[in-house]
Chain A
Amino acid sequence: MLKLLTANISRGITLVPGFGHLRNGKVRSGMAIFMLYVGLLLTVFFRFNSFVSGLESFLYSIVLLAIRGEEPMHVFRAAVVEHWIASLALLALLIVIPIWAYSKSRQQRTTTDDHAVSQVVLAWQEFKTQRVAVFGLLTILIMYGIALLCPLVAPYDPNALQDPQVTKFQPPFSSVRYLVLKEPRVAAVISSAGESGKGFVHTLIRNLKEANATLVQSGLEHLLFITEYHVEADYVVATQGKNALRIPIHELQGEKPEDWEGRRFFLLGTDRYGRDIFSRLIYGSRISLALGLIAVLLAVTVGTLVGLISGYFGGYVDKSLMRFVDVLLAFPNLFFILIIIALFQQLPFPRVFLIVAVLGLTSWMGISRLVRGQVLSLKEEEFVLAAHALGFKHKRIILRHILPNALTPIIVNATLRIGGIILVEAALSFLNLGVEPPTASWGNIIYEGKDYLSTAWWISTFPGFAIVLTVISFNLVGDGLRDALDPRIRM
């Protein structure tokens, strides 16, 4: 009886993500999964309102769209959409991780010794032995996770500014006092939508309005940042730097000082607008990381395609393609990037896309040469020759036989490249050709802070660390992958 109970409990425990791994003796990965899940749960707990509002907003919008068609297109505002993404992603992670962890831990128990392991599994096992590389991979995963969930993870709105003369240039670990007002400082925009009508659609619009309002609020509407204050009869006398304010107590929230006063904490300090650096760093990671990834994907796609075609078909195709690559390679890289971005920055779309495109399209040539070389040697391998003999189509031979075998150097090369691209983005920001403010990217946070390096070092320093950490991580993972994937290096 007791035994049965413990067995049940222990089976039940494996449902907690990570515990299954722990039970199987995989302490490190078990702990990692568990911590990750706790982190997600904490995010839900602390940002429950945003999380639910995000899901609500998404749901209402979809329904409205289904009912009314094009009309409510205005709900697709960037600020709202990023909340949808974050809420949906969080929901998905909350569901997927336990299932995956559970099935994985089951699998671990059933197949204790595996004879027929695939190349991928082998490489992964090899990769796992390199601790630094695993550490790098974990760092990257966490960073991308944060970037995906940024509206929920960032403590404050990255662009909201209020009373900059009080909040600006706060050093790390500092906090600023505020008073809470009864009425918002600037009344919300009065809207007549959905008010008059009754019925399902109007209720929906009202609900959507409410949900969206929760999402886009900066949380500063009722706050008045001050340096100091004291009570004088029915008034609160506050100072904002050199200015003095007199506010009647009845305009403040509540009755007692505890009700109306508070402090806002800035982990990494604030910039010259009084914006929270930590929040900006989190939002900035989204741009910097996505930019690196997408640019590299672009480069890899183009480079692989050209390399495959060139190497596989040979002859004139090869010659002309490689001559083209030669011309492009003759362009001095940074010069070229600078010229194109500077000259074409006024296109009618945000500059981020231009930067991604230029960085991606100027770095595929190396990959195409690499792939071509691989293809040339693979072409002579027996299994490819056999495929030819069997009369397979080119497409099938390329996709099934050649590409998978040429993939190793591509992956390694791509990983190593991402770090470089993040560095170039930062350099572009320094030359004022980076992502446009006020959108935060690591590069432009550094740029905005550089003039204040001697008076407010924290603005430029933390994004600098973030870049260093990311680039190091990508390089560690790249090295690790190379060692894991290249059987020649295995010693």
Chain B
Amino acid sequence: MFTRYATLLLLFSLFLSSCGKKSGSKSEDPRPETAVVAIMGDVDNFNPVVSAELIASQVNDAIFPQMFDVKFATGEGRLVYGPMLVKSWEFLNGQKDIRLDLRGDVFWEDGIRVTAEDVKFSYGLYGSQEVSSPRQNYVRNMIWTDGKFDVDRSIEIINDSTLIFHFDHTYPTQLFHLNLPPVPKHVFQNADLRTLDSNPANARPLSAGPFRLEKWIRQQEIVLARNPKCNLPYPAKLKRVILRVISEPVTRLTELKKGTIDMMWPINPEDVQDIQLNYPSIRIETMPPRVYEYVGWANIDFKAWNESGRKVIKPHPLFGNKRVRQALTYGINRQQIIDGFLGGYGQLATSDISPIFRWAYNFGLKPYSYDPEKARNLLAMAGWTDTDGDGILDHNGRKFEFTLRYNAGNARRAYAANIIQDNLKKLGIIVNIETVEGVVFYEKIARKEYDAFLAGFSVGLAIDPSDRWGSDIQNPLNQAGFRNTRVDELIRYGQNVKSYLEAAPFWKELQAILHEEQPFTFLYWIKEIVGINNRLQNTEVGILGAMNEMWNWTIGSPQGSVVY
């Protein structure tokens, strides 16, 4: 009996109080000097060596000392490096070695100085076999002995603040590979390397950056607080930045509209108009196109390849023919997908080198148009016609029918898959759509078990096509089973130049070949949409993410929720 009344009373009082509170709350900022950002999933841990989530690396950038001040020069389309923990640097030995001079006045939260020892120790962790860091490939071109990363030969300590990195050859992205943040040696030096990813110290990182981790309630929120002692570059301007884990998109958007969070992404292109019209306190910003989506085709017969113990290489019965792949690209109305889903936030893709790399992007390539007639001719030339009258193309007794897979829950890919199915049906091709749960999806793609799949990729900031387009079919990233000797040559040339600009002609030719071969049907580049409450200012949404340089964020005049 009591509980019943208690519950009712509670409900009632809540109702009353929340009604009453509404009028008074407008004047005062409920979150002084605090920004709230909605994130989709929790951070896995706060150790840059082992964290695998993208969001974790963005947060870690604000906590751990940054080696360089990295900016993306939009005009040139490349990364430029300025001093940060590294005060100055010098190329030696014909650019094969790099000497770094570190600042002497950078300290971890506990007062111990950040030294060259920390950097070397951290690189040892990044390259260690036992640790299995997802960033191990950063040390790929340093010195290796017996198949193991040799930290002692790769990194030479001159004194507390000077060290020399040795590489086995010269290439344009060497500095990029030196930009891994160091972790404190005195915390991790006795850690068990095999269980580094579950080391308790990963949950309470020692900061040397503008923010420190004040609180981490798992699955709920990450509270970053200003690190007052920071001089790298300086303490954060906001007192707190709170990252809230909200995975349901409807809920997330509701919170943004209500003004209870200050920043979220991605926003559906469909919602942009509604926000701009009805929620003047929210501004919409976009990230440059770094993510593209594509239909991956099995260029070789994956089934035969897998069944023969990864030996037999023969063309795929459907997609092994270049003409068929071209026809598929002609037969898919990519512009329709962009118009229908992305609105102004997408652009046709010709290959997987992003237009943001202005110096390397081949502006001469014209995207394939939507041309079903041409597609049909190409298919007929490849032998695909309808001989039995069922409206489906066939060739040597095989129907042109395949299963297109994408990861469940991705609305954009669902949309694209539906359009593709509809487009190809008109050509007499049956597409069965199957959604696969994320983990299994990527695993099967890597194992080359899918003949056709709809996936996306976020390109790195240094151009490196070797994994994807090199002729090594064993490489899980060579998802199409692509082999081309000229492409191998181009990659080799492009990765052995001293200055990035020298590589441009090679990358341009590579794009032309991909455009002709269509190992994938490259669909479109996506400009991700970020919604920001106007109270949050000095944000720098760009190629480096929405939370880039969040230590510069400030809070402007408080803007409450919508006024109707």
Contact = CB atoms under 8 A, between A and B. Distances in A.
**Do A's and B's CB atoms come within 8 Å in the complex?**
yes
B270 A452 contact: yes
A191 B389 contact: yes
A193 B388 contact: yes
Interface string A443-461: 0000010111111000000
B435 A437 contact: yes
Interface stretch (A159-167, A298-306, A321-329, A364-372): A159-167
A212 interface: yes
Interface stretch (B135-143, B160-168, B180-188, B408-416): B408-416
B339 A165 contact: yes
B460 interface: no
Contacts of B249: 451
B321 to A, nearest CB: 19
Contact of B385 (A190, A205, A346): A190
A164 B340 contact: yes
Interface string B407-451: 011010011001101100011100001111100100000000000
A75 B389 CA distance: 10
Interface string B370-400: 0011001000000001111111110000010
Contact of A189 (B271, B340, B373, B428): B428
A450 B409 CA distance: 12
Contact of A342 (B373, B422, B435, B437): B437
Contact of B418 (A189, A438, A452): A438
A209 B271 contact: no
Contacts of A232: none
A23 interface: no
A191 B399 contact: no
A436 B434 contact: yes
A35 interface: no
B392 A273 contact: no
A241 interface: yes
Nearest to A341: B437
B387 A192 contact: yes
B341 to A, nearest CB: 8
Residue in A191, A208, A433 with the greatest tally of chain B CB atoms within 10 Å: A191
Given A164-B340, A272-B415, A453-B250, A186 B426 contact: yes
B418 A273 contact: yes
B409 A77 contact: no
Contact of A213 (B388, B391, B421, B440): B391
Contacts of A454: 253, 271, 274
Interface in B43-60: none
Contact of B437 (A72, A188, A209, A345): A345
Interface in A209-257: 209, 212-213, 216, 241, 243
B46 to A, nearest CB: 29
A346 B440 contact: yes
A206 B389 CA distance: 8
B418 A74 contact: no
Interface in B281-305: none
A241 B390 CA distance: 36
A464 interface: no
Contact of B274 (A189, A433, A455): A455
B418 A216 contact: no
A273 B399 contact: no
A186 B385 contact: no
Contact of B250 (A72, A345, A433, A450): A450
A277 to B, nearest CB: 15
Contacts of A342: 437
A194 interface: yes
B336 interface: yes
A78 to B, nearest CB: 10
A89 to B, nearest CB: 24
Contacts of B399: 74
B391 A188 contact: yes
Contacts of A433: 408
B268 interface: yes
B390 A212 contact: yes
A125 interface: no
Given A438-B418, A451-B268, A455-B270, A190 B386 contact: yes
A436 B403 CA distance: 13
Contacts of A169: 270
A379 interface: no
B426 A216 contact: no
A452 B271 CA distance: 8
A448 B435 CA distance: 14
A188 B388 CA distance: 14
A238 B77 CA distance: 39
A21 interface: no
A129 interface: no
Contacts of A205: 389
Contact of A455 (B271, B339, B391): B271
B391 A191 contact: yes
Contacts of A437: 414, 418, 433, 435
Contact of B408 (A74, A186, A213, A432): A432
Interface string A170-203: 0000000000000000111111111000000000
A280 interface: no
Contacts of A208: 389
Contacts of B376: 187
Contact of A161 (B389, B408, B419): B419
Contacts of A72: 388
A159 B422 CA distance: 8
A168 interface: yes
Contacts of A189: 386, 391-393, 427-428
A169 to B, nearest CB: 8
25 contacts: A72-B388, A74-B399, A77-B390, A160-B422, A161-B419, A164-B336, A186-B427, A187-B376, A189-B392, A189-B393, A191-B387, A191-B388, A192-B389, A193-B390, A206-B389, A212-B391, A243-B339, A345-B436, A432-B437, A436-B433, A437-B414, A450-B250, A451-B270, A451-B411, A455-B274
